[in-house]
Chain A
Amino acid sequence: MATESNGAAFSRRDFLQQLQGWGGTALMMAGMDALGFGIASAATAPPDLTGGGGGKKVIVLGTGVAGLTSAYELSSAGYDVTVLEARDRVGGRSYTARKGTKLTELGGEPQVCDFDEGYYINPGPWRIPYSHRGYLHYAKKFKVGLELFNNENEHAYIKFDKGTGPLAGRPVRKQEITADTRGYANEILAKQVRQGALDAEFAPGDKELFLDYLRSEGYLTKDDFKYIGTDGRGMDENPGAGLDPGKPSTPHKLTDILHSQTWRTLQSVGSLDMQHTMFEPIGGMDQLPAGFVRNLKPVIRLGHVVEKISQTPEQVTVAFTGPDGQKGTVTGDYCVCTIPLSVLRGIDLDVTPEFKEAITGVSYALVCKIGLQMKTRFWEDNHQIYGGHVYVDDPGVNVISLPSTGWLGEKGVVLGFYPQGAAAARVSAMSLAGRRDYALWVGQKVFPEYTESNDGSFSIAWHRVPFNMGGWAQWTEEGRAKYYPKLLEPQGRLYLAGEHLSYITGWQEGGIESAWSQISKLHKRAMATA
C-alpha cells in the first residue's frame, strides 16, 4: 500500500485487521470509511445534471447497465448522446439465455439454447440485494417487475463429499445442520456460563439474560439447558389432523457434524449482499436493459466494435468496425467508456503509459454457469425444496440452485454449476456436452431424478466470451492502491465507468453507481467550460 513506508508504523491494513478483530466487519467498514476507502458512500439516486451541458456531444461505449445508465441520464439532461455497442444485443452481462439464444465462446463450439418457449437462465447476474438502491431505482422507474429470489432455503440439501463420518457423502437437509450445530454450541456455552467459568465477562444482571438468550437461540430445554432437538430441524413424521401429533426427529451427533464439514455453510447473518430480501426481474435479467431501451432517446448503434479511441485537447474520436464490416468514426466532446478492462487493454487508446498500465493492473474472474432444463420440478414435487441452493463441496459445481420462478409449474431451469477461478478453468475446458454431463454427474448424486429429467442445457464460461473476457474485475489491495485511483480520473476527454470502478465489483449496482459518479464529474466539467 502506498502509505506504508515505515516498517515500524502501524499500517492501515493492520489497523483494519485489528478493528475486524475487535468489532467485526461493521467496525472495520466504519474504519475503512474513515480512512477514505469510501465503502459506505453508496449513492441512492442519480446525480443532478441540471444545465444539460449546453448540448455537448457524448459518445457512450457499451450497453451494459453502466453504459445504459450513462446514456439515459446524459441524454435526459440534454446532452447529445451517441451509443455504440459491439454485440447485436444490448445489456452486456445483464443477460438472459432462452430458446434460440446463440453464443460461441473464444475457441468454443457454436451453441444455441434449446430450452422450451418461456424457460430461461440468467447466465450473468442473477440476484438483486435489497441494498442495491441504484438497480431498484431504475426497476421502479421503468416498471420492470421484480419477484423474490430465494437465496436461502433451510430445507435444501448440503452434500459434502470431502468430510468424514456418517454425514459425509450424502445429502443432509440444511435445517438439521443449522439446528444441531447451534443447539450444541449454545448448550456448551450455557454449561460454561452456569458453572461460573465466564463470570468475568458479565456485568451485574447480564448473566441471566445471556442464559435466556442461549436457551432461546439454541432451543435448549427450560431447566437444564440441554439440546435435544427441535421441530425446525425437521420431523420424522410431520404433524397432521385428528390424533396425529407427528413424530420428532433425533439430532445428529456433534462430532459427526463437525467432521462432515457441513457447518461451513453456516453464518450468524448473511453478508451484506446476500441477505433477505433478494429480488430477480420477472422474465429474466435482460428486462432492465429492455426498460432502459424503452425510455432511451438516442438509438443504440449495435454491431459497432471499437477499434481505437483518439483525442485532441478539443475532442475525442472513436474508430469502429460496423456491422457490415465497414470502418467509421464518431467524434464528440467527451467519451464514457464502459468496456471491461479485460477487453479495453486490447484496444488502441490515446492515453498516457501510466493509464495504460493501470488498465492492465486488474485480473478478471474466471467463472462458469450452466442452465439445465428439467422436464419435471422434482425438487418441488418429491423433495419439497422451493428455490434456494443445494451446497456441494465439488469446486466445479459449488451450488445447484433451484429456480425462484415458475413455482409448481411443469418444467424448470436449474443452475447446475457455478465454479470460479481454477475450477472454472477446468470446467470451461470441457466440450458443451462434457460440461452438461459433468453437471448431471454431480447433481445425480443429490437428486436421483436429475439425469433422466434433463432435456436441455446452456453453459457459459465468461472468461471466454468475446467483449467480456471475464466475469468481473478482481482488484487486489495493491491494485486498488496503485492503479484504481488513476482509472477514476478522466484521461483527457475519456471517462471510464463500470463495475470495475466500484467497490461493488461483480454486481450491476457497481456499474450503475460508477456511471452516476463518472457522469457527475463529466457534467461539472462540461458546465464549467460551457
Chain B
Amino acid sequence: MRRLAASITGFGALFGAVALSSAAQAQTAGATLFAQNCSACHQLTGLGIHGAFPALAGDPFVVGDPTKPAYVLLHGRGGMPNFSEDLSDADIAAILSYVRSSWGNHAPPLDAALVASVRGGGAAPPKERSVLPGH
C-alpha cells in the first residue's frame, strides 16, 4: 500500500514539498515522504537491514526526545545524508511523526516549529551547490 502511495504521487512531486492541511493528511504525507526518502535503507517495514541499516521500529532514539532525530535529519550521521536542503521543516516533522507512531512505536507527533527550532536561525543558507557532479 505504501509503495502504491509513493508511486501515484508521481515524479513531479518527488522532489517538491507536500502540502499539509490536516492531521490525517499529515500522517499520509509522512508515510509517503518516508517511502520516498528513507525506505531505501530503513525499509518500508522500519526494520532496516541487520548489520547495514539501523531499525527504526522499537528504536529508543527515534521515540525519545524528538529534537535529537530532527537534528540527525538536518545534519546527517554516519552513512545517512543531510536532508536539510531537500526537506522542509514540515516534511521532516511529518516523517518523524510517522516514524514515531508506526511499526509498534507509540510516541507523540512533532510539528514544523520544533524542527525549525532545531534548525535554528530560520532556513539554512543556500549552499553554493555545484551543478557539475564530481567523481
Contact = CB atoms under 8 A, between A and B. Distances in A.
Contact of A421 (B3, B78, B82, B87): B82
B86 interface: yes
Contact of A422 (B6, B51, B81, B131): B81
Interface in A135-163: none
Interface in A408-442: 418, 420-426, 428-431, 434, 437-438, 441-442
A115 B101 CA distance: 44
Contacts of B135: 125, 367, 471-472, 506-507
Interface string B62-99: 00000000000000111111110111000000000000
A523 B40 CA distance: 43
A438 B7 CA distance: 11
B3 to A, nearest CB: 8
A363 B78 contact: yes
Interface in B30-58: 35-41, 43, 49, 51-53
Given A106-B49, A106-B52, A420-B133, A434 B7 contact: yes
B12 to A, nearest CB: 9
Interface in A246-286: 264-265, 267, 271, 273-274
A425 B15 contact: no
B14 A426 contact: yes
A490 B52 CA distance: 26
A274 to B, nearest CB: 7
A342 B41 CA distance: 14
Contact of A274 (B35, B77, B132): B132
Given A396-B15, A425-B38, A438-B11, A391 B131 contact: yes
A469 interface: yes
Given A106-B53, A107-B49, A265 B131 contact: yes
Interface string A473-500: 0000000000000000000000000000
Contact of A425 (B3, B77, B81, B131): B81
Contacts of B37: 422, 425-426, 429
B134 interface: yes
Nearest to A394: B15
Nearest to A419: B133
A393 B132 CA distance: 10
Contact of A469 (B3, B7, B40, B79): B79
A429 B131 contact: no
Interface size range of chain A in the complex? 35 or more
A39 B1 CA distance: 51
Interface centre among B39, B52, B76 (most CB of A within 10 A): B52
A346 B15 contact: no
A428 B40 contact: yes
A393 B83 contact: no
B79 A470 contact: yes
A464 B49 CA distance: 10
A444 B80 CA distance: 31
B44 to A, nearest CB: 9
B133 A398 contact: yes
B69 to A, nearest CB: 16
Nearest to B73: A422
Contacts of A364: 79
Contact of A464 (B14, B36, B41): B41
Interface centre among A106, A441, A470, A472 (most CB of B within 10 A): A106
A56 to B, nearest CB: 33
A396 B43 contact: no
A506 B81 CA distance: 17
A288 interface: no
Contacts of A506: 134-135
A265 B39 CA distance: 32
A346 B10 CA distance: 37
Nearest to B87: A422
B123 to A, nearest CB: 16
A396 B14 contact: yes
Given A265-B132, A423-B15, A506-B134, A463 B79 contact: yes
B39 A399 contact: no
A422 B83 contact: yes
A402 interface: no
A422 B77 CA distance: 12
Contacts of A267: 132
A469 B35 contact: no
Contacts of B36: 426, 429
Interface centre among A366, A399, A428 (most CB of B within 10 A): A366
14 contacts: A267-B132, A346-B52, A363-B80, A422-B82, A424-B81, A426-B15, A426-B36, A429-B39, A434-B7, A461-B40, A463-B40, A463-B41, A470-B79, A507-B135
Given A364-B79, A422-B87, 4 more contacts: A107-B49, A391-B132, A425-B38, A506-B135
Interface of A: 106-107, 125, 264-265, 267, 271, 273-274, 342, 346, 360, 363-364, 366-367, 391, 393-396, 398-399, 418, 420-426, 428-431, 434, 437-438, 441-442, 461, 463-464, 469-472, 506-507
Interface of B: 3, 6-7, 11, 14-15, 35-41, 43, 49, 51-53, 76-83, 85-87, 130-135
Per CB-CB distance, the 6 closest pairs between chain A and chain B, nearest first, are: A428-B40, A429-B40, A422-B86, A506-B135, A421-B81, A422-B81
